A and B are shown apart, each in its own frame.
Chain A
């Protein structure tokens, strides 16, 4: 299964990024072939709508699941419209989470936050 994960760095030894929309990179990972590709998040520093932009990129990479510590409501709406499942990561390490996901130990993320939107 192809999954997307927000990560801090371009490395399999990196940590999960605490932010979905503002993560510097996404790892696009195939759990069957172990193919890994790191995607720059072009929306990391934009003023607004970062979650939507990041979610669009995730949808376009044709993944079936997103593993993330948390997710804002706009991003979740985009992800869900594409029938991509959102799982909640546990702890910091990327490797631990890939293993946990393969072992079926990650749960679906149901606590979607309202987002951290500034004034406009």
Chain B
């Protein structure tokens, strides 16, 4: 069962939820897809960490063979190539590694070389396998790191928690595309609701079963609760604005492993999600 945790804005509780839900499961995998700033590993402090490099293919031209026909330049939809003064300029950070330019070159002047853009770390923390994606600073796109992260598997019979990047852009789409369930975390602010609206539109587009967790709940009216009820989003849990929980988190302690009441809270939520996924599977079968 793959559960993607997402929210429009940062700081609403994606990592809090994904880490604690993974820790609450008997046998789980935690995958940190927030490759620009992965932080789940700070909580898990995994052992036996193995690192694997992630690379992409970038074209390069052999100038002697190039006749300047510009078929590659015209082909590239992303405009990653320019032909200036009898030589080909390649803008690596714009290239999407599709390989089309190489196929189109009538002279066989183009070939590809590997460019390392990041790495993946695998480790173990009690009952959880911790997999972290890290994009090298300065790289434009984390998508190749995320797709490599999610190719690991199949993780049969395990609870897989996918900690998504914030926002609703391509990197989030890549993170949720194989998820069985999308869990939307939202804080009780107008800004939070605005961003929830954007991610909700995204998960609807993907046709994913979805539920929400209202985090940092206060006693007054919650705009997030209102939005969920108007949009028909099922609210699975309401986590109160809790100083103890905040303190544990800011000290990089996994609440589930620390206090029974938090284990109870997150186990209950995990069970609810499992039921939702089963309902969905039954409804579609």
Contact = CB atoms under 8 A, between A and B. Distances in A.
Contacts of B170: 119-120
A15 interface: no
Contact of A78 (B76, B89, B140, B171): B89
B79 A50 contact: yes
A8 interface: no
Interface in B64-118: 73, 76-85, 87, 89, 91, 94, 96
A49 B85 contact: no
A52 B91 contact: yes
B275 interface: no
B198 interface: no
Interface string A79-98: 00111000000000000000
A53 interface: yes
A43 B80 CA distance: 13
Contacts of A56: 73, 82-84
A83 B85 CA distance: 9
B271 interface: no
B91 A74 contact: yes
Contact of B79 (A43, A77, A120): A43
A47 B80 CA distance: 12
A109 B7 CA distance: 41
A74 B140 CA distance: 13
Contacts, number: 54
A119 B94 CA distance: 11
Contact of B78 (A49, A55, A82): A49
A117 B89 contact: no
A52 B84 contact: no
Q: Tell me which of A56, A77, A83 has the highest count of chain B C-beta atoms within 10 A of its own C-beta.
A: A56
B51 interface: no
Contacts of B141: 119-120
A117 B85 CA distance: 26
Nearest to A53: B79
Interface in A90-120: 117, 119-120
Interface in B166-185: 167, 169-171
B253 interface: no
Interface of A: 43, 46-50, 52-53, 55-56, 59, 74, 77-78, 81-83, 117, 119-120
Given A52-B79, A77-B89, 13 more contacts: A47-B77, A48-B79, A49-B91, A52-B80, A56-B82, A78-B82, A81-B84, A81-B89, A82-B84, A82-B85, A83-B85, A119-B169, A119-B170
Closest 3 CB pairs of A and B: A49-B79, A119-B169, A81-B84
